Structure 1
C-alpha cells in the first residue's frame, strides 16, 4: 500500500542507550533528521561544523534510521522578512544506513 503524500510520520531521536529524548515529524526520515540536526551546536561555517551521529527510530516500527548531521550559522538573505534574525542556523545530513531493532 502506497503512503499518502500528506502523511506525516514521527521519528524519535535516540540518545545513548535506548532513551528517546525528542520526537520530530516529517514525511521522510531525512526531513526529520534535518530538523534534529538544526538543534546541534552550530559552527561558524559549514566547513568548520563537527559531524554527529543522529539515530531516529520510526514510531510504530523497529527501524532506526542512522544519519550523520552537522549545523552551521549563516547570514540571513538580504530579502529576509522583518521577523527573521540576522543569522540563521543551516543544517545538512547524510544517511549512513538503517538498523532493525529486535522485537521485544
Structure 2
C-alpha cells in the first residue's frame, strides 16, 4: 500500500469550480472515490455514465473519466457496522487535458 507521502490530491471540477478533493496514489484511484459519490443506479447495467474531471493539485493536468455508480448487496462476510447495501463505482479514462488558466 502507498504511504501517505505517495498520495496525490485531485480536485473535482464542475463548471470551473473545484468543490471536492479526492486523494489517491493514481488518478484512477481518486476517480473511483469520486464515482462512488454519483447517484447510484439499481445495477451496473442500468447505470448512467457521467463525465468527471479531476485536476491534479499543483499541476495544470485535468484527468477526464467516464464514471458510473450502482448499488449492490454487501458481501456475506461484511463487518457488523457495514450497511446491507453498498455503492460501487467504476471509471473509464477518456484522456488528459492541460489548462492554461491556472
**What TM-score does the superposition give when structure 1 sets the normalisation length?**
0.92
Name the Cα RMSD after superposition.
Answer: 1.0
- For this pair of structures, how many residues does the alignment match? 99
Structure 1, unmatched stretches of 5+, are: none
Mapping 1:17-96, distance limit 5 Å: 18-96=16-94
In 2, the alpha carbon distance for the partners of 1:49 and 1:70 equals 6
Instruction: Work out the CA distance in 1 between the residues paired with 2:36 and 2:74.
Output: 15
Structure 2 unaligned spans of 5+: none
In the TM superposition, residue 12 of structure 1 has moved relative to its aligned partner by 0.3
- What is the CA–CA distance in structure 1 between the aligned matches of 2:94 and 2:78, rounded to whole Å? 34
1:33-89: CA deviations, max 9, x gaps? 000000000000000000000100000000000000000000001111111100000
